């Protein structure tokens, strides 16, 4: 079994928070207070990281150069995207029919 490197920390937590955590451990919701803190931190950090990624995408949406480039790329692939869609639908392109 591979164990990950650990760092021991000392933190001061509000008593009410510790009591709530201990209640969850007693009910079997979490294996231990330590494990509960690790899981809570992982979930919180994941939400923060996702929010940062969302903010970067929002910024890209406002970037006129990026929007122009995205439109150009979409237009370049329009024909092949249409063909792939039609093939996925099981339809063959009739003679003379052109992709939009």
C-beta of residue 41 within 8 angstroms of C-beta of residue 29: no
How large is the average pLDDT for residues 5-20?
A: 95
pLDDT attached to residue 87: 86
Q: Give mean pLDDT, residues 27-35.
A: 95
* Residue range 60-67: mean pLDDT, rounded: 86
Tell me how far apart the alpha carbons of residues 86 and 92 are, in angstroms, rounded to a whole number. 7
In sequence order, which residues have a C-beta less than 8 Å from that of residue 86 and are 6 or more positions away?
A: 92, 93, 99
Range 61-67 average pLDDT: 86
pLDDT-above-70 percentage for the chain:
87
Domain ranges of the chain: 15-88
Q: What are φ and ψ of residue 55, in 5° steps? A: -65, -40
């Amino acid at each position: 079994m591979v164990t990950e490197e650990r760092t021991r920390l000392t933190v001061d937590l509000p008593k009410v928070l510790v009591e709530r955590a201990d209640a969850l451990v007693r009910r079997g919701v979490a294996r231990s207070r330590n494990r509960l803190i690790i899981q809570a931190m992982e979930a919180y950090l994941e939400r923060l990281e996702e929010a940062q990624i969302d903010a970067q995408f929002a910024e890209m949406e406002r970037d006129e150069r990026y929007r122009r480039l995205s439109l150009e790329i979409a237009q370049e692939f329009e024909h092949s995207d249409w063909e792939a869609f039609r093939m996925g639908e099981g339809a063959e392109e009739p003679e003379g029919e052109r992709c939009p």
